[in-house]
Amino acid sequence: MKKILIIEDNYDLAQNTRLFLKEYGYDVILCPNGKEGLKVMLNYQPDLILCDVMLPDINGYKILSEIKKLDNPIPPIVIFITAKTQRDDIRKGMSLGADDYITKPFTFDELLRAIDVQFKKRNKLMQIIEKEASSKFLIKENVQKNNLENTHKSLAYNGHIYIDIKKNPCFYPVKDLLMIRSMKDYTLLIFTDGKKYIIRKLMKYWEKYLPNKEFIRIHRQTIINLNYIEKIERLSSNRFSISLKYYQNRVGVSQRYGKRIKKILT
């Protein structure tokens, strides 16, 4: 069953569109604003997104630009829905990579035809990819692996973290996450570009869902990305300090987690 995500703040239009598409066998989820749409998209993984350009928080162009950041060789189809009919607005959406553009008012038959055309194009693209791939079995294995990761909602190292900022929500690559600091009910995420974001999640959440081959807890309040370790200094039998790339200050390792660092050194 094909999955469609509708990002539309017009409640009546969104509900009617959802009911119409469900009658034609589609699985449909509604989001009333862009921030929620981006957040839902990571877990729902729609095949197609119907997105209003003018939303109460962020516009459709911002949503599309964030989708393009995702490390996904086959991103979801994006069809913009808007009341704007100016040529410049349409050109902007298509230049950003939108697959189609439907202006309000539209009939459901028009919408259904547009969706059908895009799915037919996507099917042809998938056939080309499968023919050019060196091994069809490798493709199937990767798809199964990705589906398993999504089922458990784990974060792959080449995946993304959703940063819920009021005016500028965005995706950040997991591999660019340098360090996490505990702030009671919140955690501070520090990225390699120096940017910092406070997220309402506990350290236990990150320990559970971050890939444990790349991330390690070195203190009750600190998790680091092993790939950015530049130097480890032994202070005592179970105490160490670590120098990280892109971070000026050295990070201390508590006695409780010292054994983990010893394993790295041996």
Q: How confident is the model at residue 261 (pLDDT cuts 50, 70, 90)?
A: confident
Would the pTM count as exceeding 0.75? no
**Could you report the per-residue pLDDT of 224-240, keeping only the tens digit for each?**
999 999 999 888 777 88
Q: Distance of CA 34 to CAs 129, 134, 169, 221, Å?
A: 31, 38, 9, 33
Q: pLDDT tens for residues 23-59?
A: 999 999 999 999 999 999 988 989 999 999 999 999 9
The CATH number of the domain covering residues in 167-265: 2.40.50.1020
pLDDT of residue 147: 42
Residue 202 CB-density burial (10 A; 0-12 exposed, 13-18 middle, 19+ buried)? middle
Is domain 3-150 in CATH 3.40.50.2300, yes or no?
Answer: yes
Q: What is the mean pLDDT of the chain?
A: 85
- For the chain, domain boundaries: 3-150, 167-265
Q: Please confirm whether the linkage preceding 105 is cis (ω < 30° from 0).
A: yes
CB 39 within 8 A of CB 47: no
* C-alpha pair distances (Å), 52 with each of 45, 132, 234, 252: 18, 35, 56, 48
C-alpha angle 159-164-169 in degrees, rounded to nearest 5: 85
